[in-house]
Every structure is written in structure tokens, then in C-alpha cells.
Amino acid sequence: MKYIDDIKVQKRMNSRVLKNDIVKQLFLAATLFGLVVLAVLLIRVITEGAAWIDWNFLTGKLSTAAERAGIMGAILGTSWLMLIVVPVTLFIGVGTAIYLELYAKKGKFQSFIATNISNLAGVPSIVYGLLGLTIFVRAMDFGNVVMAGGLTLSLLVLPIVIVAAQEAIRAVPQHLSEASYGMGATKWQTVKNIVLPAALPGILTGSILALSRAIGETAPLTVLGIPALLIPFPEGLFDTFTALPMQIYYWTLDSSLVEEYAYLAAATIIVLLVLLFLLNSIAIFIRNKFQQRY
């Protein structure tokens, strides 16, 4: 007596296998969907903007006349922001990571800080904008200058840098620091001379990725009241400024008034994406070139 009827099983088998094959194609299509949208987005931006990129556009001043408008001010503003974000996040991020990974005793305080950092990573960027507005722009009375923008963006991407630095430090093999301690080195000597140099590629990679997140951020800057007006180029940390994403924002909004502004926005997006692409290439280069195999 057989419980399983071979013929029935065989019949069902065909449809089961067919279903598997069909659904597999569906899953593939879903995976490709995102990539297709990416392609459409890039093509769209390039076809609209590429023709507008020329030397005058890159080096010129902002203008209400579309054909004379340039984005040098925004490029400078974004550069100034990077000049703040990089050192501030590296210093605080690496310091925090060293503390959490190498100094803090496993306990309540350490896990409190760690939980806090992962919560901060989930706070919407616009809330950081309000924090920056309240603390840096108003309470410290910086105004809507490079310093306020830079510090706000630094706080925003700090969790990324901390987590990346923690991972990089954790990846340094224990036996290297043991060797250093074995020579009579103190803890800080070991951290400074052995652990940090070995973790540096990982730290830099993470910090560049955080930087590329920071320079694409728009929402916090809108809250800080960063203008996109005919302002002079920023020359220092306490000058007002505009940045590439702000420029894109205003031109996109106003494209319903002046059609050419959409093309200017697209052209600026190309500049921003190229910048991000360069940063990411540097990060990948560092990761591949300097990653030590122990």
C-alpha cells in the first residue's frame, strides 16, 4: 500500500516547477526595477543638464538670467562645509570609537552610549537642522554661516563615522597590540602607534562615505535658512554661503516659473554626482590599496 501516488506527484511537479521558474523571473524583474529607475534618472539628468555645463557655468556667479548663471558660489560653499565636516567628524568620531572599543569597560555606560549612537543614526536629518538652527544659528549667534552649517552636518553624519571607526578598530588583530604591550608600551602608545595606523584605511573609507552623505544633504540646510541669492563668495568660516544641494533645490522649485531653471538644476546635479562619484572612488581606492592582510 503506497501513500504517495507517483502519477499525481508527477503532475503536480510540473506545475510546481513552472511556478518556480515564473516567479524567479518576477524576482529578477523586481531586482532590475531599481536599476532601471537609476538608469532613467541618470539619463534624464544628463540629457537635461549636460549641455549647460561649461566653464562659465562652473566658475560663474549666480544670476537670475539662466544663460549667465554659474555655481562657483555653491561649489565654494560645499567645499567650505567639507573643510569643517572632515576634521570635526574625524576627531569626535575616532575619539568616541577609541573610547568605546578600547577604553570603556563593558557595562551600562558603554552600552548606553552605543544605544544612543544607533538612535541618533535614525533621527531624521531635518531634526538636526532644527538643532543647528536653535544652537548654532541662534543660541551661539553664528548666523546662517559656514560654521553653523558645517557643525550641523557634522553632528548629522557623526554616527556613521563612529560606527565605521569602531569596525575598523575592531578589525585590528589583537595580536598586534599584544606585541606592543609585550615591549612595555603603554596603552596610549599602543593605540597611537599600532592600532590607529592599522585602522586608518577603514576609518578613512568610512569618513569619506559619511562626507558624501553630508554634502548631499539639503533638508538641514533649508532649516538653517541657507540662501541661494546673489551673495558674495564665502571666504571664511563665518561667511554666509550657499551649497550645491541648496542650489538644486531652489532651481527645481523655480523651474515652474522659468523652464531653464530645470536644466540648471540638472546641470548642478551632474556636478554634485560627479563629486560624490569621485569621493566614493577615493574611498574604494583606499580600501583596496591600503587594506592590510595580517
Partner 1 sequence: MSPLTKTKKVKVDIKSETSTTKNNEVVYDTKDLNLWYGETHALKDVNLSIHEKEVTAIIGPSGCGKSTYIKTLNRMVELVPSVRTTGVITYKGKNILDKSLKVEDLRTHVGMVFQKPNPFPKSIYENIAYGPKIHGIRNKKVLDEIVEKSLRGASIWDEVKDRLNENAYGLSGGQQQRLCIARCLAIEPNVILMDEPTSALDPKSTLRIEELVQELKKEYSIIIVTHNMQQAARISDKTAFFLNGEVVEYDDTNNIFTNPEDSRTEDYISGRFG
Partner 2 sequence: MNKKNAVNVREMIAEKKKKRNFSNLTEKMIPTILIIIASISILTTVGIIYTLLAESIEFFRRVPIWEFFTGTVLKPLSQTPEFGVLPLIMGTVISSIIAMLVAGPIGLMSAIYLSEYASDKVRRTIKPLLEILAGIPTIVYGFFAFTFVTPLIRSVFPEVGATNILSPGIVMGVMIIPMIASLSEDAMNSVPNAMREGALALGATKLETTFRVVIPAALSGIISSFVLGISRAIGETMIVTIASGSSKNFTFDITQSMQTMTAYIVEVSGGDAPAGSTIYYSLYAVALTLFVFTLIMNLLARYISRRFREEY
Least separation in angstroms between residue 43's CB and partner 2 is 10
Least separation in angstroms between residue 203's CB and partner 1 is 15
DSSP conformational letter for 256: T
Contacted entry of partner 1, partner 2, none for residue 183, CB cut-off 5 to 8 Å set by kind = partner 1
Nearer to partner 2, 63 or 119 (CB): 119
Nearer to partner 2, 14 or 174 (CB): 14
Contacted entry of partner 1, partner 2, none for residue 120, CB cut-off 5 to 8 Å set by kind = partner 2
Residues 194 to 223 in contact with partner 2, rule: CB under 8 A: 212-213, 216-219, 222-223
In angstroms, the CA 70 to CA 61 distance is 5
Instruction: Find the helix or strand (DSSP H, E) in which 226 lies.
Output: none
Q: In a 10 Å sphere around its CB, with 0-12 CB exposed, 13-18 middle and 19+ buried, how is residue 279 labelled?
A: middle
Question: Counting contacts by CB under 8 A, is residue 48 touching partner 2?
Answer: yes
Instruction: Give 204's contacts (C-beta < 8 A, 6+ positions apart).
Output: 283, 286
Contacted entry of partner 2, partner 1, none for residue 79, CB cut-off 5 to 8 Å set by kind = none
Provide the terminal-to-terminal Cα distance of the chain, rounded to the nearest Å: 63
Name the site residues for partner 1 (rule: CB under 8 A). 105-106, 173, 175-176, 178-186, 189, 193-194, 197-198, 292-294
Nearer to partner 1, 26 or 179 (CB): 179
Least separation in angstroms between residue 184's CB and partner 2 is 9
Closest CA to 207 of 99, 282, 277: 282
Q: In a 10 Å sphere around its CB, with 0-12 CB exposed, 13-18 middle and 19+ buried, how is residue 269 labelled?
A: buried
Q: Which of 280, 286, 287, 292 binds partner 2 (CB under 8 A)?
A: 280
Q: How far is CA 191 from CA 109, 121, 166, 171, 176, in A?
A: 22, 27, 13, 13, 10
Residues 50 to 89 in contact with partner 2, rule: CB under 8 A: none
Contacted entry of partner 1, partner 2, none for residue 127, CB cut-off 5 to 8 Å set by kind = partner 2
Binding mask 17-46 for partner 2 (x = CB under 8 A): x-xx--xx-xxx-xx-xxx-xx-xx--xx-
Kindly state the cell numbers that stand for 129.
537642522
Least separation in angstroms between residue 33's CB and partner 2 is 6
In angstroms, the CA 220 to CA 242 distance is 13
Least separation in angstroms between residue 135's CB and partner 2 is 6
Q: Which residues on adjacent β-strands are paired with residue 240?
A: 145
Least separation in angstroms between residue 275's CB and partner 2 is 10
Contacted entry of partner 2, partner 1, none for residue 178, CB cut-off 5 to 8 Å set by kind = partner 1
Q: Which amino acid is at 2?
A: K
DSSP conformational letter for 292: P
Name the H helices within 50-145: 55-59, 72-98, 108-121, 125-132
